[in-house]
Amino acid sequence: MPREAASGGPFDLDNLQKLVELMDKFDLNEVKLQKGSDRVILRRGLGGEMIPVQMAAPAVHAAPAPAAASAPAAPAAAAPASEENLPAIKSPTVGTFYSAAQPGEPPFVKAGDRVKSESVVCIIEAMKVFNQIPAKMSGTIVKCLVKDGDPVDFGQPLFLIKE
């Protein structure tokens, strides 16, 4: 396999990167390649190692909440309850979230902006490929749920939107 990778065979990094782009373009979750005894399986979404890491972070933040729940429990519960019913624009892939095309440029969208289904709302970088993420729904952005440079998982809510 190292010989094929160096010579531009089907398993070299450039070809694998193109496959990842095609997976994103056609919304594929898995691609299997086999040539002789060499085999490559590309998967995206659940099953990646990043998911348990992301799931562990909320558990750490959940511990302090019960200690402070004695007085402000009712107001804290009221705010998210109204946002729970809002649809979310979700990440179609695992990667790093960026709100703008370049550092220092204005974000694609911010709270209060109206978007159409084809409007680009952010970029997610995966394996040095910068994917523009469309809203896939029309409405008004209510809240951005992630910050620049945050790692995101497949299906993770990025923005809340009021249709």
Total number of domains constituting the chain:
2
pTM exceeding 0.75: no
Note whether residue 53 is domain-resident.
no
The helix/strand/coil state of 140 is strand
Note whether residue 104 is domain-resident.
yes
Note whether residue 16 is domain-resident.
yes
The helix/strand/coil state of 56 is helix
Q: What is the pLDDT of residues 46-69, one digit of tens each?
A: 443 333 233 333 333 344 444 444
The closest alpha carbon to 93, from 144, 152, 36, belongs to 152
Note whether residue 64 is domain-resident.
no
Q: What's the start-to-end Cα distance of the chain, in Å?
A: 50
The domain containing residue 146 runs over which residues? Answer: 85-162
Comparing 17 with 92, the larger pLDDT belongs to 92
- Asked if residues 53 and 27 have their Cβ atoms less than 8 Å apart, the reply is no
Average pLDDT of the chain to the nearest whole number: 74
Spatial separation of the C-alpha atoms in residues 125 and 47, rounded to whole Å: 19
Q: Decide if pLDDT at 123 tops 70.
A: yes
Query: What DSSP element (H or E) covers 122?
Result: strand 120-126
CA R_g for the chain: 20
- Same domain for 97 and 150, yes or no, is yes
CATH of the domain at 138: 2.40.50.100
- Same domain for 98 and 150, yes or no, is yes
- Same domain for 155 and 97, yes or no, is yes
Note whether residue 30 is domain-resident.
yes
Q: What is the pLDDT of residues 3-12, one digit of tens each?
A: 444 445 556 7
Note whether residue 80 is domain-resident.
no
- Same domain for 89 and 20, yes or no, is no
- Asked if residues 100 and 108 have their Cβ atoms less than 8 Å apart, the reply is yes
- Asked if residues 139 and 163 have their Cβ atoms less than 8 Å apart, the reply is yes
Note whether residue 39 is domain-resident.
yes
- Residue 158 to residues 24, 46, 47, 128, 141, Cα–Cα distance (Å): 17, 17, 20, 20, 10
Note whether residue 25 is domain-resident.
yes
- 45 pLDDT tier (thresholds 50, 70, 90): low
